[in-house]
Structure 1
């Protein structure tokens, strides 16, 4: 897999950045979870990933503590920490970033959220409308980044936050300034990413249906199952994500209470049926097993799909949680093929 690229900007020769994803604590017991996080982080580093996404919501452990475990278990891998503004003041986020840099000399990436599970927000007393949450996240992130740049004390009398002559110590080395990602499946999310000069991340349509990005880089959140043959890939995919009636009901209930643009976008799309399956597969999403589309097929077919996203501006891929090191090796092969197609 590829290594560092730029945080944002126009597409062209930018390197492909790949992030894997950390397991969730709700799926494992405490001792097993800690071991699994360390294992997945090491696999991801060995596979050449830039970093690893760390989820956040009301039902799982704190992402900053998980990031500390990731940093202790690896030498280079960068945590991509999901940041929910309702959980902590922007100063606390900046303090976490600079403290981890001080302790580990490691860069952290920030995945800035505006939503999440609607019931989580309501439970916290936050009923801010969807688009306004993106405006709040933009203001929040600007404070974080200004503190981390450390060029001067930060003062802001904003619509959502008020700070006066705020300073951050220890200072963050400039080379460890975090990259920033923002959900970009809605117009409000795209506007926030543009305002922050951040990379918008989509839960994409198939490459042939995805709109070009007007020259700006973007990221895609996908899973990949690829093997030497299409038949073997589908056997693995269906074993990992079998039909689950209870999961389908849960997904429909979640859809009813969600105001997420990407959730509705994927929910409204039905997989085709018939003798031949589409390599763009929503089965895991429809069975409430994960929240992203999967690309399934032989290595060459899936590489063509990845190359299709790259051709219209995708600079970043966030992979679903890898079940094994061997599965990451299969994905490495796909991405190598996709990048070879770019060069040909």
Structure 2
């Protein structure tokens, strides 16, 4: 399989924990990591929340079984001090000579945050995330001791003893479709990640920052074949719909609320996996050419980074490669 084109940055997604026992889950993580590595993906997103296995443990396993794949670790300020998170990044770089990218998140299920004494409102959490990531960036980019005096964090002469070289410096992404999320991405010179609406409804990317999106894709040579795979993989699930409604009632996420109002199926744009609590992003289902053109429309709008949902089989990545090639060629034609 050829590498993903340089014009688009492609991350996969690690399987979420909790649906399999420990040994089976670990092997599933390693399997998906190997697939993504062979596909030439930039990296693979690793979730973090109160229910998930610690993402740094998963990141180390991903590094150990792949040749170049970069863990994209979700980092939530509520879980650890920025110095501790920076030490994990520098430690993995030092031990394995591998980069770890960071997906800065500020949200979560309200009950989970409250259980940890997390009482900040939505936008304030992004303000704190900016301070958090700013300290991490300074620690990881310079040997100069860090002094910082902010609203949420302070430091005096803080430094790492193993600062990664420039080639191992992490890339920063910020997850969140709200104005506060995009403002945080801008402040950090990071890539802002959104959860898109249909291409004809999606706003163009902000030209002042890099932007990308999280989506799932099921594509086959024909639309009928793609939908057969999709409906088999994500059947109707009443319990899942109840869990989705419960999760929505416990979240203050703007994108979660907006996507919950979206039509369940609109052409290739499919919200069923999201609304049955099987995943957290829109899906695109259809034949190669149609789905490739849809992704190409997002690229034309300025979105050049894609975080793709967890594949069920390695063959899924081969079908995805066809779609990405179409999207890339459309971009070439328009340049």
State the TM-score, normalizing by the size of structure 1.
0.94
SS at 2:74 equivalent: strand
- Cα distance in 2 for partners of 1:237, 1:3 equals 24
- CA deviation map 1:278-311 (0-9, x unaligned): 1000010011111100000000000001101100
Number of residue pairs the alignment of both structures matches: 331
1:25 to partner: Cα distance = 1.9
Q: Which residue of 2 aligns with 1:219?
A: 212
Q: Which residue of 1 aligns with 2:170?
A: 178
Matched, 1:271 2:264: yes
Q: Which residue of 2 aligns with 1:244?
A: 237
- 1:1-344 equivalences under 5 Å are 15-215=7-207, 216-272=209-265, 278-344=267-333
1:217 to partner: Cα distance = 2.5
SS at 2:200 equivalent: coil
1:2 to partner: Cα distance = 5.2
SS at 1:25 equivalent: coil
The answer for unaligned runs of 5 or more in structure 1 is 6-14
1:4 to partner: Cα distance = 8.3
Query: Does the 8 Å contact 1:101/1:107 carry over to 2?
Result: yes
- Cα distance in 2 for partners of 1:314, 1:70 equals 27
- Cα distance in 1 for partners of 2:250, 2:17 equals 23
The answer for unaligned runs of 5 or more in structure 2 is none
Query: Does the 8 Å contact 1:147/1:154 carry over to 2?
Result: yes
- Cα distance in 2 for partners of 1:63, 1:183 equals 16
1:271 to partner: Cα distance = 2.3
- Cα distance in 2 for partners of 1:34, 1:77 equals 17
SS at 2:204 equivalent: coil
1:338 to partner: Cα distance = 1.2
Query: Does the 8 Å contact 2:268/2:291 carry over to 1?
Result: yes
- CA deviation map 1:224-252 (0-9, x unaligned): 00001111100100000011111111111
Query: Does the 8 Å contact 1:223/1:292 carry over to 2?
Result: yes
SS at 2:130 equivalent: helix
- CA deviation map 1:205-240 (0-9, x unaligned): 111111112424211100000001111100100000
- Cα distance in 2 for partners of 1:214, 1:238 equals 35
- Cα distance in 2 for partners of 1:162, 1:234 equals 52
1:58 to partner: Cα distance = 0.7
- Cα distance in 2 for partners of 1:185, 1:3 equals 25
List structure 1 segments (4+ residues) > 3 angstroms apart after TM superposition. Answer: 1-5
Judging changes above 3 Å, is the alpha-carbon distance between structure 1 residues 24 and 114 closer, same or farther for their aligned structure 2 residues? Answer: same
State the TM-score, normalizing by the size of structure 2.
0.96
